[in-house]
Structures are given as C-alpha cells and as structure tokens.
Chain A
Amino acid sequence: SQTIHQWPATLVQPVGSPLSLECTVEGTSNPNLYWYRQAAGRGLQLLFYSVGIGQISSEVPQNLSASRPQDRQFILSSKKLLLSDSGFYLCAWKASSETQYFGPGTRLLVL
C-alpha cells in the first residue's frame, strides 16, 4: 500500500533563516506531487506541483521554492523565511486518474 511521509512534524524557525521540508512517498511510481499551505483558520493554497523528476510548476509567486530530486521525494525550501511563511504545510501525491492523498503535514512557526 502507498504511504506518504513528511518531516519534520513541527518546526520553529527565526525570521531570515533557511527552510527545508521533506516529503516522501512509498508504494507508487511516478506520482504527481504537491505542496499546499494552510494558514491558520483558512483553506488550502496550492504552492507547487510536480509531474516528474525535476519538473516543478509554481502556482503562487513567493520566497519559497520546490525541488524533486528523486521520483518519490519532494522538497520545499526557502533561503530566508518571513513571518508570513508560518502555517501548516501539506504534501500530497496522486497517481494518474486518481485523487490526491495527503501527508500528515508540517507545522511551521516563524518567529
């Protein structure tokens, strides 16, 4: 069966520090991968998605970036965090013609 992992689960970082969040999927090949952000009390905002290794589509201009170095690994990064980057970051995967399945999320607090 397929599983999706995210780490860390919780992160507290100072403003201006770098960020690296990791998402890995097991039990499937060549999935579509997604990064969403959920601000407190709000809905989901799609940040990036990837249909293959090295292929990244950005949905919202911001100081975040994404990379997909391996088929089942998706990384969300920032060189300098802003206060507004605080939120709950969700990774999701999707096989062709199926729905999206979400990971457990990473809670990021920027102070």
Chain B
Amino acid sequence: GEDVEQSLFLSVREGDSSVINCTYTDSSSTYLYWYKQEPGAGLQLLTYIFSNMDMKQDQRLTVLLNKKDKHLSLRIADTQTGDSAIYFCAETVNDYKLSFGAGTTVTVRA
C-alpha cells in the first residue's frame, strides 16, 4: 500500500525537543525520508534512513525507525525558531516514486 500518515500540527517551546511521528504501510520501502518546507519554498531534504537501520543521527536531528510497527520519527533537539516549517515524511514506492504524508506543521514559540 501507499499510505503515509502524520499528525498535522505540533507546537513546541524554543529550546525543547520536537518529535514528529509518521506511520507508513509499505514494508518493502527501501528508504524513508524527512523533508522540510519553509513558507513559500520548495521541499528541502533533511535526512533519510535506509530500511535496515534503526537509528540515524545528524547533528540536532535523530531519526528512529521501527520496522515492526512501520513507525518513523524525527527528533529535533534544541528546537529553534528557524525550525518552524512543515515536515514531510516519505517512503519509496518503487524506483521512481515516493509516497508523501500530508505534512506536520511545526510551530516554535518563544
């Protein structure tokens, strides 16, 4: 199946950690991605994880993958105002296509 689900909104205080969750349905997905979209802009690839990994860390970003539950999460440590954006989870459908979630709007409050 091709159905990626995310919660629509997340509000977090500046300096706290943000955790954005995603569930997917296709157990054969080889890669899972997180993209960031700032207002009025295109999507920027933040990070990705190969399906045989459980965790990937890149500076303030930590991706956790639970293949059994088909659950992907993105943790942003020390959230800053510049992290306010829409975050999209995506899974590979085949060699050509990705399936995207609806996006989680993260609002960072002072």
Q: Quick check: A43 and B48 within 8 Å, CB to CB?
A: no
Query: In chain B, residues 68-110, which have Cβ atoms closer than 8 Å to a Cβ of chain A?
Result: 88, 95-98, 100-103
- Chain B interfacial residues counted at CB < 8 A: 19
Among B13-21, B38-46, B59-67, which stretch is in contact with chain A? B38-46
Distance between B46 CB and nearest chain A CB, rounded to angstroms: 11
Chain B hits for A43, CB < 8 A: 88, 100-103
- Is there contact, CB below 8 Å, between A102 and B42? yes
With A99-B31, A99-B33, A99-B48 given, is the CB distance from A46 to B43 under 8 Å?
A: no
Residues of B within 8 A of A (CB): 31, 33, 35, 40-45, 48, 88, 95-98, 100-103
What is A's interface to B at a CB cutoff of 8 Å?
Answer: 32, 42-44, 46, 49, 51, 57, 90, 92, 94, 96-97, 99-105, 107
